[in-house]
Chain A
């Protein structure tokens, strides 16, 4: 079966003060129908830029240099804006990080949902209103009819994100890209929103790309996980495999940073020393090497994907040669 979304060799570049900054460097991945793929990684490793590149939403100083994004067999990157408009909204939609600025402050919530429904589904105003109310109920808004008449600033962050989800679902997309949908929300609301997204995804059978820096979210939601570091995908595995058997030292370090409920009282929180390097274009070897405790001379050679069992790949030569004792 062909993949729903297939990204090949995607490279995105931003114009910086001292020349080009490669933000996303030759990444390949795919999303199948009905699958939830998580992209995890620290801030600044290119997760959001990946999603913006797919959607054609890069700012004016950024551009995709290389690669292709095939959605349903069509290359999104070679489409004109008009053709893209047919795909965006109808087949792919996106939820943003900050629900506080995701709604137009001068229109009521109902107004905005109805607008988006009518644009894509060609319903009459009454039918669109009905559908908007149903959607709001579906995303768990208690007073759907009342909410329709409210302005965004009267809603809380969690409620606004629910409205955003309702809007994203308004035209039954095949793929939903959620870019850190819960980052701005507190933990209890975060859990509710994630549960809602997962439920809706299962119900509608759409695919989802979930971008997050919270590896805890990944475990409960994803089918497959991509770990990104410094613009590259350094490990890719089914979610269970990744948590049980992480291969790349960076993935291990990420997992180690999560406190668990079984930790003893005196456990210190672990952090990964150092930071994501700011410009990593000229590095030929492993980009994590400077922060890695298993560093060896081979690490400075160009790394490629090494297979570790079914569907499990990681960019670490040291691991492949079985060099790490745990």
Chain B
């Protein structure tokens, strides 16, 4: 020992390699920052690792802002006939006009509002139903579990589109009916997810500890168990959001969704059912189609990133 290693060390330091190597990946300030940050900051930092998700978030924010500001930024009234029939895009009408002379751009902005509203509300409804049923089934088990899960299976195994179409036919198609129908159809996945998580959590010591500490049932269910399943719920909810927007588009395309003259991305695509529109008037269906793709994709990417960012047990 001693002289030889010393000499080698000196050489290394001289070459400035040694010191650098030790410090690689160990930025003192960064480590301190990480130790002191709050949970929200941690989530944000992890989220930012996913570049695609950050871009998606920006795109989504832009689209949502455009939808919210539609009354301000839309150049024309979406339901008013302002131009020629099926006019191609020009300086006056950036995206052209539809078959009866309404401005496509204005309709698009308003349609996005409707589609987002349908997506968000349907997701909210189905999440609330799914979470409550999942919590009850998972925590109480036995009969409650049995009944709820069989009911879930039933809803899940029912031909989905058929159910929606029948419901839409029975309850007259319309904006809120669509929201309610989609909300009542999308919950089984969430209920199953929550139930599975609760089954695991129920047996953990901290839940027993809470019972021992005399915490009331409501507190245990909603303040202890629920926060532990928020991450998967949120991730699943993003996919439900995307799916219900797609479903709305599909329903409206079939004429059972949002009824004209109210514009939705789906019923704007409706025009593409005719061959002339499909081949000769692409401005009528490409923009709403693109918007649907953009919205759904960005929501899905965000959901993916959230899954990684929200897990409290993962590090980094």
Residues of A within 8 A of B (CB): 55, 57, 59-60, 81, 84-90, 92-94, 96-98, 101-107, 116, 119-120, 151, 153, 164, 167
Contacts and interface: CB of A to CB of B under 8 A. Distances in A.
Given A96-B209, A101-B204, A151 B312 contact: yes
Interface string B183-220: 00000000000000000000111101101111111000
Given A105-B312, A106-B227, A90 B211 contact: no
Given A104-B224, A105-B228, A106-B227, A164 B211 contact: no
10 A-B pairs with least C-beta separation = A89-B214, A89-B213, A85-B214, A102-B205, A88-B214, A96-B205, A94-B212, A101-B205, A106-B227, A104-B206
Given A60-B141, A104-B224, A106-B312, A164 B213 contact: no
A120 B203 CA distance: 24
A96 B204 CA distance: 10
Contact of A102 (B142, B209, B217): B209
A158 to B, nearest CB: 16
A93 B210 CA distance: 10
7 contacts: A60-B142, A105-B228, A105-B312, A105-B313, A106-B39, A153-B312, A167-B213
A86 B214 contact: yes
Given A98-B205, A151-B312, A104 B212 contact: no
B60 to A, nearest CB: 26
B227 A107 contact: yes
Interface of B is mostly: helix
A151 B206 CA distance: 14
Interface in B283-300: none
A116 B213 contact: yes
Contacts of A92: 212
Contact of B212 (A60, A89, A101, A107): A89
Q: Among B205, B214, B230, B312, which residue has the most Cβ atoms of chain A within 10 A?
A: B214
A81 B213 CA distance: 12
A96 B208 contact: yes
A242 B283 CA distance: 92
Contacts of B228: 104-106
B125 to A, nearest CB: 25
Given A96-B208, A151-B312, 9 more contacts: A57-B211, A87-B214, A88-B214, A89-B212, A92-B212, A97-B205, A119-B213, A120-B213, A167-B209
Contacts of B212: 55, 57, 88-89, 92-94
A164 B214 contact: no
A49 B86 CA distance: 78
A15 B270 CA distance: 60
A153 B215 contact: no
A163 to B, nearest CB: 11
A132 B249 CA distance: 54
Contacts of B208: 57, 94, 96
Given A104-B228, A153-B312, A153-B313, A119 B215 contact: yes
A151 B39 contact: yes
Contacts of B211: 55, 57, 88
A88 B39 CA distance: 31
Q: Which of B212, B216, B217, B312 has the most CB of A within 10 A?
A: B212
Interface string B97-141: 000000000000000000000000000000000000000000001
Nearest to A150: B35
Contacts of B205: 96-98, 101-102
